[in-house]
């Protein structure tokens, strides 16, 4: 039975990858951080009682900032594959916590690679690094592919640039099977609530049921190449099954604006929106409502506004990936479109909002954040 070690197992990708690897028959070990509240909601449905010998999914306390912890875990587990998905993954937050982001997202990758080498596992353990389209930042070429030069635009992207190159370096210097997946934005109903797609599907669902008055957004002209996390974790695994390690761009090859995504999500709730005004004064007004999903919304309501607090000190205005290499060499093609994904996310968030509204109607007033 193959063993995988996943950092970031409690995150969006970690949860889908765990499902995928368990189905493939792997024993899956994951590193979770100690937190004052439970933080394992995304993998609770996969957890198996460790008191039974047959348990194939195990969680270990750890942190990417802790060298001895990582080294000990790798020594004890001796994984065939390491998926380094753990990160402070929010671009805007990285401007607030740049040093922490550098340590976890940059040096964290080095700690894992060095532990593998130090333990003499470099011929056994394969290493996947969660690299990102944010490396392209101020884009030098459209669409972006494996050979496009990088120009990172945030402390997050700069930290990930270090992780990208140290992965290449350990491959070249020590012959390790180490590779980068340069993944463009990918989302799902399990996406963190503060990333733009989930903020939109969750916010509009809450507005539809009268739980929130308005959605406050940053740069809605931003263009992204959005795929579904389920499609992307499949590719993470495929990258570690080749004869030789290589880096791949993973993207859909289609881009949309944040404004378009807002319009889709609204329409999935039966709401038509009209945008008017310029820059920070732009607003989204309801022009038509149909169906019964948004009983608390009426024509003329302003439900989208711009809040400059969500602007970033340096923005990545446009990203569009070219996944040709992944298609040709690995036969990978994304199966879920951004439009279909938006529908799935709205359905999931609307269900959660309905549940919360029902509790509220019965006097059980839980904070919305506990119900997302
Ligand atoms: P999430 O933010 O959903 O998950 C991040 C994971 O990292 C969580 O499990 C989190 O734990 C964990 N983590 C955070 N800090 C530490 C730390 N100090 N030590 C150990 N673990 C830590 O991210 P995604 O699942 O969306 O992304 C997975 C990876 O892919 C990340 O590295 C991200 O930067 C990268 N990426 C993501 C893309 C996307 O569009 N989703 C695109 C390209 C790259 P906790 O649950 O406790 O917070
Ligand atoms: P990104 O994702 O920065 O691309 O990083 P995010 O969803 O946060 O932003 C996408 C674009 O939307 C604009 N935007 C807003 N973003 C947020 N979060 N909140 C808002 O209110 C808002 N309004 C507009 C942003 O400015 C941006 O242009 C994600 C993360 O998953 C990274 O870890 C990963 O590496 C990259 O995708 C690829």
- Angle (CA) 362-271-319 rounded to 5° is 110
**Structure confidence at residue 51 (pLDDT):** 80
Model confidence at 372, pLDDT cuts 50, 70, 90, reads very low
Q: Which long-range contacts (CB under 8 A, 24 or more apart) does 308-311 make?
A: 308/218, 308/280, 309/216, 309/218, 310/92, 310/216, 310/217, 310/218, 310/219, 311/218, 311/219
Residue 21 structural domain: 3-183
Classify 346 as helix, strand or coil.
helix
337 Ramachandran zone, left/alpha/beta (phi>0; psi -120 to 50):
beta
Q: Which residues are designated catalytic?
A: 132, 134, 156
- Give the closest residue (by CA) to ligand 1 atom 43: 132
Q: Is residue 249 part of a domain?
A: no
**Structure confidence at residue 122 (pLDDT):** 96
Task: Kindly report, residue by residue over 146-193, the tens digit of the pLDDT.
Answer: 999 999 999 999 999 999 999 999 999 999 999 999 999 999 999 999
- Give the closest residue (by CA) to ligand 1 atom 6: 8
Q: Is residue 239 part of a domain?
A: no
Q: Looking at the structure, do residues 158 and 22 belong to the same domain, yes or no?
A: yes
Query: For residue 68, what is the enclosing H or E element?
Result: helix 67-77
Q: Is residue 125 part of a domain?
A: yes
Beta carbon of 185 within 6 Å of any ligand 2 atom: yes
Task: Kindly report, residue by residue over 184-199, the tens digit of the pLDDT.
Answer: 999 999 999 999 999 9
Q: Looking at the structure, do residues 86 and 210 belong to the same domain, yes or no?
A: no
CATH code for the domain of 305:
3.90.25.10
Task: Kindly report, residue by residue over 268-295, the tens digit of the pLDDT.
Answer: 999 999 999 999 999 999 999 999 999 9
Of 157, 183, 209, which residue is a domain's last?
183
Does 366 score more than 80 pLDDT? no
Q: Looking at the structure, do residues 267 and 202 belong to the same domain, yes or no?
A: yes
CA 130 to ligand 1 centroid distance, Å:
9
Q: In the chain, pLDDT over 70 holds for what percent of residues? A: 98
In terms of residues, how long is the chain?
372
Task: Kindly report, residue by residue over 225-255, the tens digit of the pLDDT.
Answer: 999 999 999 999 999 999 999 999 999 999 9
Beta carbon of 315 within 6 Å of any ligand 2 atom: yes
Model confidence at 371, pLDDT cuts 50, 70, 90, reads very low
**Structure confidence at residue 53 (pLDDT):** 72
Query: For residue 83, what is the enclosing H or E element?
Result: strand 81-84
Task: Kindly report, residue by residue over 200-232, the tens digit of the pLDDT.
Answer: 999 999 999 999 999 999 999 999 999 999 999
Q: Looking at the structure, do residues 155 and 299 belong to the same domain, yes or no?
A: no
Q: Looking at the structure, do residues 95 and 137 belong to the same domain, yes or no?
A: yes
Model confidence at 4, pLDDT cuts 50, 70, 90, reads very high
In the block, residue with structure tokens 């990102």: 132
What's the longest Cα–Cα distance across the chain? 66
Of 124, 151, 183, which residue is a domain's last?
183
CA 276 to ligand 1 centroid distance, Å:
36
């Amino acid at each position: 039975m193959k063993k995988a070690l996943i950092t970031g197992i409690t995150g969006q990708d970690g949860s889908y990858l765990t499902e995928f690897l368990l189905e493939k028959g792997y024993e899956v070990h994951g590193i979770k951080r100690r937190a004052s509240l439970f933080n394992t909601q995304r993998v609770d449905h996969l957890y198996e009682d460790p008191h039974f010998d047959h348990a194939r999914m195990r969680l270990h306390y750890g942190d990417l900032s802790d060298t001895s912890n990582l080294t000990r875990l790798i020594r004890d587990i001796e994984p065939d594959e390491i998926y380094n998905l753990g990160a402070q993954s929010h671009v805007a937050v990285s401007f607030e916590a740049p040093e922490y982001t550098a340590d976890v997202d940059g040096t964290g990758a080095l700690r894992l690679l060095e532990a593998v080498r130090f333990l003499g596992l470099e011929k056994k353990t394969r290493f996947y690094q969660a690299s990102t389209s944010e490396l392209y930042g101020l884009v030098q070429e459209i669409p972006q592919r494996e050979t496009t030069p990088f120009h990172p635009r945030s402390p997050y992207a700069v930290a990930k640039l270090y992780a990208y190159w140290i992965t290449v370096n350990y491959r070249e210097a020590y012959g390790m099977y180490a590779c980068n997946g340069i993944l463009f934005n990918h989302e799902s109903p399990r996406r963190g609530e503060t990333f733009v797609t989930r903020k939109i599907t969750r916010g509009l669902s809450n507005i539809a049921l009268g739980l929130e008055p308005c959605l406050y957004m940053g740069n809605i002209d931003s263009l992204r190449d959005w795929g579904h996390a389920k499609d992307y974790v499949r590719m993470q695994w495929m990258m570690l099954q080749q004869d030789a390690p290589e880096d791949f761009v993973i993207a859909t090859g289609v881009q949309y604006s944040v404004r378009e995504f807002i319009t889709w999500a609204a329409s999935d709730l039966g709401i038509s929106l009209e945008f008017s005004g310029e820059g920070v004064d732009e607003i989204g007004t309801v022009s038509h409502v149909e169906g019964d999903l948004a009983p608390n919304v009426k024509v003329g309501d302003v439900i989208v506004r711009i809040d400059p607090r969500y602007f970033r000190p340096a923005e990545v205005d446009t990203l569009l990936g070219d996944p040709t290499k992944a298609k040709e060499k690995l036969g990978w093609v994304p199966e879920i479109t951004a439009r279909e994904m938006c529908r799935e996310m709205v359905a999931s968030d609307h269900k959660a909002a309905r549940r919360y509204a029902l509790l509220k109607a019965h006097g059980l007033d839980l904070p919305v954040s506990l119900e997302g």
